[in-house]
Amino acid sequence: MTIPNITLNNGVEMPQEGFGVYQIADYEDCKQAVKDALSVGYRAIDTAQAYHNEEAVGQAIAESEVDRQDIFITTKVWITNYGYEATKQSVLDSLDKLQTNYLDLVLLHQPYNDYYGAYRALEDLQAEGKLRAIGVSNFYADRYVDLVKFNRVVPQVNQLETHVFYQREEDNEYLKKYGTQIESWGPFAEGRNNFFDNETLQRIGDKYHKSVAQVALRFLTQKGVVIIPKSTHKERMQENLDIWDFELSSEDMQEIQSLDTKQSYFFDHEDPETVESITASTL
């Protein structure tokens, strides 16, 4: 089974499905999960400074039989490392932890603090060849457009909460307008809103002999979204990969589109209390 690639706005190719390691903080658990993911066929790994598991990811890749050049590694800079010099140094630290001399994609994790200085550091690191692609995460359309208008490099990726209940149609209109790829975090909404018992997804899944999770992932990929589902169970990793052998009909797609509630199931980045909470978090 071959995972298709998405071509980013600078010509870099990125697997449309990767493996996320959010909330796998234990070193051995994370290392084993990444090794398992690579063994079943994943070729993109998504981590972050704030996940505290870059070292485990790096060691798993080092111990894997898969060549580094065949693995697309993403990490994210946390807000306490924002500002031009701090961001540059933090990315160099991430390179050391991940045991690599380049990264395929680095994102700014949140749209707070000095993200302008941080982004310009990413631009320069990309120009130096240390980063193949750069982008942002959790940047709503207004801050995303602002960043595009006043920087040299249009972000290659914007990673946003994206799932069947929050499909980000308006955000994606602006991403498409300026040429940035949307990537989903939380493609299962972490089970919220009775995600895995949704009758529409179950009924459509029964038609194709697929699970609710597989239908939800397939929907996103047919919409052109990059996905990074997470699991520490090898059989579930494989299940999440087994979505490339069927295609949802246009009627199925329309039904699933009707599930969109147009609201977050986690937090609103424009809510002052959310801002207070996120900016209080340090590494």
- Binding site members: 109
* Residue in 200, 207, 229, 206 with CA at minimum distance from that of residue 217: 229
Query: CA–CA separation, 101 vs 129, rounded Å?
Result: 9
Query: CA–CA separation, 213 vs 202, rounded Å?
Result: 9
Instruction: Identify whether 112 is a catalytic site residue.
Output: no
Contacts 24+ apart (CB under 8 A), 94-101: 94/49, 94/54, 95/130, 97/54, 97/55, 97/58, 98/47, 98/54, 98/55, 98/57, 98/58, 98/61, 98/73, 99/58, 99/59, 99/61, 99/62, 100/58, 100/61, 100/68, 100/73, 101/130
Q: Is the distance from CB of 217 to CB of 227 less than 8 angstroms?
A: yes
Query: CA–CA separation, 125 vs 130, rounded Å?
Result: 6
Among 22, 27, 51, 208, the active-site one is 51
Q: Is the distance from CB of 214 to CB of 188 less than 8 angstroms?
A: no
- Binding site members for substrate: 109
The type of residue at 104 is D
| Active site residue ranges | 51
